[in-house]
Amino acid sequence: MHAMKRYSLVLVLLFAAGFVAARATAQQPPAAAAAAPQNCKTYGSGKCCDPAIAAHLTKDAVFSACGESDATFLGEQGSKDTCKYFFKVAGQKDEDMFVQVYAPPQKDVPAAPNDPFFKWGKVGPVFFTDRALSPKSQPMLANSTGLWLPGKGYFVAINASTKVCTKPEAKRLATRMK
């Protein structure tokens, strides 16, 4: 009986030691690693963009396709499934001069955008707003270009101010979407 108690005590001690060692050497889970503080330039009272959202269209891709730079970049603003890059454009309101990336998870992603207000053209796999289908949607098209890319379990929608990224530049931007 005495040997049985000793055996049980050894098992308990080994289990406890293993548990402590495992906890001490455990790596940080991916979700906690992604939540690590980021170093970015924020716009207004915004926060840094989620790297997973920004990866669909990086700030550098906007710089190269739209002719922007650190000199005109005002900062980013991140929220759930969205990242906005703001730019300084002479004579314009800063809050209206942005390129917005929206990439929500979606169970069933259509092959093309369903939009009753615009006719969509296509550059490679990316759709872009080509023309307004009603007089009421014409001002929206004059002020911004929409880009849309279907993915597996998500889609990426870009809304780019035409003062930041002209229509031809937006088509170049489409080639940099992921």
89 half-sphere exposure, CB direction, 13 A CA radius: 20
Judged against a pLDDT cut of 80, whether residue 51 lies above it is answered with: yes
Task: Render pLDDT for 56-74 as a digit per residue (tens, 0 to 9).
Answer: 999 999 999 999 999 999 9
Write down the pLDDT at residue 38. 64
Query: Taking the model in full, what pTM does it have?
Result: 0.78
Residue 26 has pLDDT above 70, yes or no: no
Bigger pLDDT: 107 vs 3: 107
Contact 175, 158 (CB under 8 A): no
Q: Is residue 119 exposed (0-12), middle (13-18) or buried (19+ Cβ within 10 Å)?
A: exposed
Count of CB atoms within 10 A of residue 107's CB? 6
List C-alpha distances in Å: 174 to 110, 127, 165, 171: 18, 8, 11, 5
Give percent of the chain above pLDDT 70.
79
